[in-house]
Structures are given as C-alpha cells and as structure tokens.
Amino acid sequence: MKEFIKNLKFTWNYAKHSKKPMIIFTLSHILQILINVITPLLSAKIVIELTTNNYTRLLIITIILFIIDCLHNITMYTGRILGSKIYRKTMTYMACDLGKCTLKIETKCLDEHTSGLFIQRLTSDTSKLSTIYSNIIVQISNILKYIGLLGALFIVNKQVFLFELLFMILIFILQRKKTHEEKIRDKVYRKKNEKITGLVGELVRGARDIKMLNSENDFLDELNTKIKETNEERYIMNRKTFGYSFKIVFTKDIEKLLLLIMLILQMKYGMLIPAMALVVYNYANSLGSSTNTLDQIFELIRDFNLSSERIKEIMDDNKFKKEKFGTKHLKKVKGNFEFKNVSFGYNDKLILKDLSFKIKENETVAFVGKSGAGKTTIFNLLCKMYSINEGTITIDGININDLDKDSIRGNITIISQNPYIFNMSIKDNLRLVKKDLTDKEMIKACEIACLDEFINELPDKYDTIIGEGGVNLSGGQKQRLAIARALVQKTEIILFDEATSALDNITQEKITNALNNMKNEYTILIIAHRLSTIQNADRILYIEDGKILKEGTHKYLLKNCKEYKELYETEIKNN
C-alpha cells in the first residue's frame, strides 16, 4: 500500500491540473451513493403499496422513483464527461513530460533499447496512470455505497448481514491471491510485448528494405517467434486468472443459493414478511457486485503500480541515464573547435585514440578516410551526442562539458548521410527548426539546396505530406531537404556527414557551389567519400584507425599522403 500511495503522489503532479472537474466528479458520485441506497427501499415500498390498493401513494412513489432514476442518469453522464476531461489533461501533461525525459536520455542508452519499450510506456502506461484519480473516485464511491448497503442490511436483517459479511471476506481472500499472481505474470508479459511493438515498428519503417532483400519470410519468422512467446505468456497469465475467477464465481453461486434458502426459512417461520424479504434480497444482490469492485480495485492497484514503476524508470537517471550539460551559455559561438587527446569507444571497442586537432572559426575542414575510421564519431562528439572517455573538447575555448545544451546544439547543425524526415509537410519539416520561418526564407533555403524545382512540380507544393521517414522522397531529395532545414536554422557551424552522397553529379555540383558560397562565413566541417566535393576545403584531415594520419590541402595530400592519393585515383577510375 505504501508503494501505491507513493505512486499516487507522483501521478498527482499531473492530475492536479484538473482540480475543478475532479471536485464535481466526486460530488456526482456521492449523489449516486445516496441514490443506490434509497432505490431498494422505494422499490420495496411500491410492492407494499400494491398490496394495500393505495393508488395515490403508489403514484407518488413511482414519480419520486422516476425523478431519482433521471437524476442518476444525469450524474452518470456528467461523471463520464468529467472523467474524460480529467484523463485528457492528465494524459497530456504526463505524456509530454515523459517525451521530454525520453529526449534527454543518453544516445548510448537509447541505442541499447528497442523503440517498442518507449512506445509502450509513452502510450499504454501513461494511459493507465491518467485514469487513476477518476477510477479511485469511482471505486471509493462504490465502497461507500456498499458500506451504506451493509449498514441498511444490518438494520433490516442482522442474520443476513453476518452471512453476507462472511462470504465477502472469503471472496476477498481469493481475489488477493488472484491479484498477486497476475502482478507477477503481467510484468513478464509487458516486457515481451515491448519487443513485439519494436519489431512491428521496424517492419513498417523497413518494409522497402525487407522486400528488396527478399527477407520477408525470415523477418516474419522472427516476428512469429516473438508473438508466440508473448501470447504463450499471456495464455499462462489468463489460465491462472481464469482459475481464480472460476473459484470466485462458484463461491458467489453458493452464496446466492444459501441466501435464498435462508430467506425462505425466515419467511416460513414468520421471521420475515415477503415485502421485507424483497428489500433484503435487493440489498444482498447489490452487495454481490461488491466482490467485483474489490477485484477491480486490486487490479487497478496492480496495473497502476506496474505502470508507475515502468514510467518512473524512464525518468530515473540510474535506469536510463540522461544527458548532462553545463551551465555556461554562449548566445552565438564563433566556431573555434579543439580536440585535446580525445579517446572514445562504443562499448568495449575504442574508436578514437588520443586524437588532437584544432579548427578555426569560418574555416572549411574536411575529414576523409576509410569506413569505421571514426569520422562520424567526431561529429557526434562535437554535438555531445556521446560523452568522451578521455581528453577534452572545447568550443571557443570553453570545455564542451561546461556549456549548456543550447550553446552546443543551438549553434551546430548536422546534416547526416541518412537524415530523418518527419511525416509532415515540407513546410512543417522546415518550421521544426524555426517556428517563425517566413515563406521567403523557406523558398530561398530550398533554392540554395536545389530543391525548389522539385517542390514546385508537386500538386500541393510546400504543403505536400512526404510520409514517415520521407518515404515519398528519393535519397537525394531527402538529403537536399535536410540541407534546406540546416540553412533555415542559420547556425554558425554546419556539419555535413556524407550529405551529398545520394546526389547526382549535376545536383552535387550545385550543392558544392552553394558550399563554396558559404565559405568564410560559416565554420563548415565535411565528411566525404567523394573527394571532388572537398577539393576547395581550407584543410583536409585524413583519419585512419581513430588518429589523424595526415592533414593539409588537397594538393598537399596528393603529394604527401599515399592513402589519400589512392582514394582519389579510385574515385577518378570509378567515374
């Protein structure tokens, strides 16, 4: 119970934004409690008046009962509307906060988990937590209703009261055991289900590649295996639940049989008149659903605690490590970089080894080398996507660990080899980086990125929805849109990570000219396998095995670096 109260306090941080609807919601349920206690008495009164032929009184009671029923329906309707309102607000605040926490998680930690884990917790678990306060009010109302019914039953017939209380305790014990078993199995089931969600996401996003690789059967076999494992776990959980449910229902059936026998005997021996027997039966019958309420409460607590645990894990820095930034703020950086004896590796594999170099503001520097040499890793470290193992990285002479997030990522734009394009319109993709983007700025950026001609041929032009991951665009079009997005952001530092690899020669030439026009105005860092795009760079750093083998201009490296010369000659032959 301590865990439940602790989790309630946690959820209140989001539910407190619905205080007014919650108060009205509570009052409507208090009214329902009174109605539920009064209704059986009025129903019995109608039966009594039917035997006395007092039609006037019978009509009055009937009208009162009708008014009460109408009031009950109104409170039910109001309660549902308010419950939805409470859910909506709580869900909004909680999901947004969890989304914010997810984006703060270290890239390394995100790499280690499937997307399904985060999708399930952002949707399913937040949904379960968002209903908790409205559900608690409903269940507390139900408990108070049953207490009222028990009190009324105690006044009317003490023998039946003790009989019902005994069976309620017995069913309570069975439901406790059922809830405990469900909690153990459900935790395992949810973890398995997360893997399915992740795999289904990959199936949708990677459908084209799966088809091209002709690996539909292999992928479906993997999905089938995961689904079977998850469904087997669900079957085991359901089998145990159904077993306990059978015992509970059977106990209720025995209780109903014995109750009727008890009422028959009491009427036979003159201890109870038929009209009062009806009242007692109605009260006892209403109390029969109290065990369902107990079951719902236990299930509610179990689900709530489990979902709370899963959501708090995302927010817990010990479970999912969050990115850490400093407090120093640079509104506008100049663009001076320095790596001092930097070492870094993914897991146990060292990628960069004691790497040192400097980059001056407004300088255009290219990084070349074989795949896996560490070029993209350098860019990731510059953007603080990962934390270095050893050494120091500085921007404008300040340690990157001392700078706040906006100083780093607000001043650096990276255009990757496979940019992620969001399932929005072209205009909205560009406005993601600048809310107040004007049409003039947008068109100019797309012209520089050589994308305007393609956009103007589309039926909806800049309002065209381009599909999840930019599925409706070619590889070159995606990269040009990413370049336009970077130009819109207008940062002092632009990193091109193979950003022209998917472009045709004509478009590449245009982009190269655009880059040349940006020279000496921005600090531009380029990773390129096409050496023709970097011949005009101020410096070229040849990276091999996590170290700088040689550096200099294009002409210098052709004369003094055989590895660079081999790359260049291979490119010429292939063209």
Separation of alpha carbons 547 and 342, rounded Å: 10
Element (DSSP H or E) covering residue 280: helix 274-288
* Mean per-residue pLDDT of the chain: 77
CA–CA gap between residue 274 and residue 266 (Å, rounded): 10
The CATH number corresponding to 2-315 among 1.20.1560.10, 1.20.140.10, 1.10.10.10, 1.10.3720.10 equals 1.20.1560.10
The half-sphere exposure of 370 on its side-chain side, counting CA atoms within 13 A, is 8
CA 544 to chain centre: 40
Predicted local confidence at residue 299, as pLDDT = 73
Give, to the nearest 10 degrees, the angle between helix 55-104 and helix 290-315. 20
At 157 the pLDDT is 80
pLDDT at residue number 508: 67
What ranges in 504-561 are assigned the alpha helix state H? 505-518, 554-560
**CA atoms of 160 and 263, how far apart (whole Å):** 8
176-226: per-residue pLDDT in tens?
777 777 777 777 777 777 776 766 666 656 665 555 555 666 666 777 777
pLDDT, tens digit, 9 for 90 and up, residues 221-261: 777 777 777 777 777 777 777 777 777 778 877 878 887 88
CA angle, 424 then 426 then 431, to 5°: 85
Bridge pairing between strands 390-395 and 398-399: antiparallel
Q: Would you state the structure tokens that stand for residue 73, as one six-digit string?
A: 């329906």
Q: Where in the chain is the domain with CATH 3.40.50.300?
A: 337-574
Type of residue numbered 411: N
Helix and strand numbers (H, E) in the chain are: 21, 10
Helix (H) or strand (E) holding 21: helix 19-52
C-alpha span between 90 and 132 (Å, rounded)? 10
Task: Report d(CA 171, CA 191) in Å as an integer.
Answer: 31
Cα gap 450→316, rounded to integer Å: 45
Q: Which residues of the chain have pLDDT under 70?
A: 1, 37, 40-41, 43-44, 47-52, 114-116, 196, 198-220, 275, 288-292, 294-295, 467-472, 475, 499-520, 571-575
CATH architecture of 337-574: 3-Layer(aba) Sandwich (3.40)
Q: What is the DSSP letter of 418?
A: S
Residue range(s) of every CATH 1.20.1560.10 domain in the chain: 2-315
**What is the pLDDT at residue 501?**
59
The whole-angstrom separation of Cα 539 and Cα 553 is 5
| Alpha helix stretches (DSSP H) within 53-156 | 55-104, 107-111, 115-120, 126-130, 132-156
CB-count burial class (<10 Å; 0-12, 13-18, 19+) for 7: buried
What DSSP letter does each residue of 207-269 carry, written as one string?
HHHHHHTT-HHHHHHHHHHHHHHHHHHHHHHHHHHHHHHHHHHHHHHHHHHHHHHHHHHHHHT
Query: In this predicted structure, what is the pLDDT of residue 396?
Result: 87
Sheet holding 539-544, edge to edge: 412-415, 493-497, 523-527, 364-368, 539-544, 547-552
